[in-house]
Amino acid sequence: MSATDPWPAIGAETLDWQSRYAESSLLERYSPRPQTYEAAVPPLISERALRLSPGTAALARAAENELIRFDASLNDEMTGFAPLLLRSEAAASSQIEHLSASARAILTAEIGDTGKRNATEIVGNTRAMQSALALADELTSESVRTMHRVLMDGTNHTPGEWRTEPVWIGTSARSPVGATFVAPRHERVSGLMDDVMAFARRDDLPVLAQVAVAHAQFETIHPFTDGNGRTGRALVQSMLRGKDITRSVTVPVSAGLLTDVNAYHDALIAYRAGDIGPIIEQMAIAGDDAIHNARTLIAQLRETTAGWRETVKPRRGSQLEKVLDYAARQPVFTAATASADLGIGTTNVYPHLRRLAEFGILEQKSEYKMGQVWRSDEVLVALDQFAERAGRRRNRP
């Protein structure tokens, strides 16, 4: 493949449509339109060169360097902050798919409350992100299937299985005829996924540009019946970790994309037309926005936990100190979960919980079906403020 070759636009093929329903709709029976549709035929990209304009290349390189610096700046604070940033990334990725819930609802769902559907689905996304990081050294089709299996566990969307039916973007849920975009026919999915993951494993490309293009190609393939966006953004985190851009922390890139979802979707459309610049630029800008938002969150958490320590004055290495740190990184929990996670007997945990409640650091609440739950409302407020900032459309010239 010549380095001068432009990035190819996706092709198309005409396919016959046969309704999945037992009875065709009135429109399908009487419409004069032919019952055929155009499905995408993405190019193979595993060996293609990335030709970037000087401006796009400089932007991507600068964003990549900022991600590396941010990751390194947290040092030993990772024990406390990494889980919160991971959850924030999962929540932002879900919000792009119109799934939102408060930090309290998400963290309560994480310890077993399945009463709120959105929160439960976001917890699934958190677990998918965790699996993506665990599989960062693999970057294979099978690792992507594992991410999806974790994400969609308990649903009827064939978790971890490539789709065997058409998927499309359009106004009709019944038919791809006339749809805005129809993903490749399912027989192409396995080969296309092997190809894009071979592209993702290459070590001769500028990393942030490679991540953005692999993500856009994945979203074009749309290999699953549902959960493609969330799985595709989990893949972003897996690539960033596997290529040593983020060695310790999950930078909430989805929170950056969330600040201008329309621009993100427009960039995916441009990619399918053969223009890779916009999706690389959006990924770079999203990384920069995410870092600014995460730094604000971390500053709030630092101030909060420093205030706690000044108030409580725990002895270094004591059980009280361990419970105090636990409340910062797991701001909704039960005495049983704290006991299990910290290796402290339940009877020994309760006095520390009550003491922190007396200082106003923890609140004890009774949750339906959950019994007594302990909450750190200051941390929950900081997480909700992070989500609110992420949802504000960026104002750029």
Q: Is 345 among the annotated ligand-binding positions?
A: no
The pLDDT value recorded for residue 190 is 98
315-380 and 11-294 share a CATH fold: no
Direct distance between the N- and C-terminal alpha carbons of the chain, in angstroms, rounded to an integer: 37
Query: 132: which residues sit within 8 A by CB, 6+ positions away?
Result: 143, 147, 234, 235, 237, 238, 241
227 labeled binding residue: yes
- Residue 37: is it exposed, middle or buried by C-beta count within 10 angstroms (0-12/13-18/19+)? buried
Strand 332-333: give its sheet, edge to edge: 332-333, 371-375, 363-367
Provide the residue ranges of all domains of the chain, joining segments of one domain with +. Answer: 11-294, 315-380
* pLDDT score, position 262: 92
In the 8-state DSSP scheme, what is residue 44? P
- Residue 226, marked binder: yes
pLDDT value for 178: 84
Query: Would you say 231 is a known binding-site residue?
Result: yes
Per-residue DSSP letter, 165: S
Q: 315-380: what fold?
A: Arc Repressor Mutant, subunit A (1.10.10)
pLDDT of residue 182: 96
Which ranges of the chain would DSSP assign to H, the alpha helix? 26-30, 54-73, 78-96, 103-110, 117-134, 141-151, 189-201, 207-221, 228-242, 253-258, 261-272, 277-312, 319-329, 335-342, 346-358, 377-390
Question: Do 322 and 342 form a contact (C-beta atoms < 8 A)?
Answer: yes
Kindly indicate whether the domain formed by 11-294 is annotated with CATH number 1.10.645.10.
Answer: no
State yes or no: 232 annotated in a binding site.
Answer: yes
Query: Residue 313 burial (CB < 10 Å; 0-12/13-18/19+)?
Result: exposed
Q: In one letter, which amino acid is 72?
A: A
pLDDT at 393: 60
CA-to-CA dists, residue 232 to 143, 220, 290, angstroms = 12, 10, 17
Residue 63 to residue 286: CA distance in whole angstroms: 9
Query: Cα–Cα distances in Å, from 212 out to 60, 313, 354?
Result: 10, 46, 48
* Catalytic residue (one of 98, 222, 265, 292): 222
**How far, in Å, CA of 366 to CA of 370, rounded?**
7
228 is in an annotated binding site: yes
Among left, alpha and beta (phi > 0; psi -120 to 50; other), residue 172 is beta
Q: Mean pLDDT for each 10-residue chunk of the chain (397 residues)?
A: 68 85 55 78 97 96 95 69 85 88 91 85 91 93 96 89 93 82 97 98 97 98 95 95 90 88 95 97 94 92 95 96 94 94 94 96 82 93 91 55
Phi then psi dihedrals of residue 123, to 5 deg: -60, -40
pLDDT value for 6: 85
pLDDT, position 2: 34
Catalytic residue flag (residue 222): yes
Beta bridge partners of 181: 169
Decide: residue 51, CB within 10 A, 0-12 exposed, 13-18 middle, 19+ buried. Answer: middle
3-class DSSP assignment, residue 164: coil
Which two tokens mark 353? 């919980």
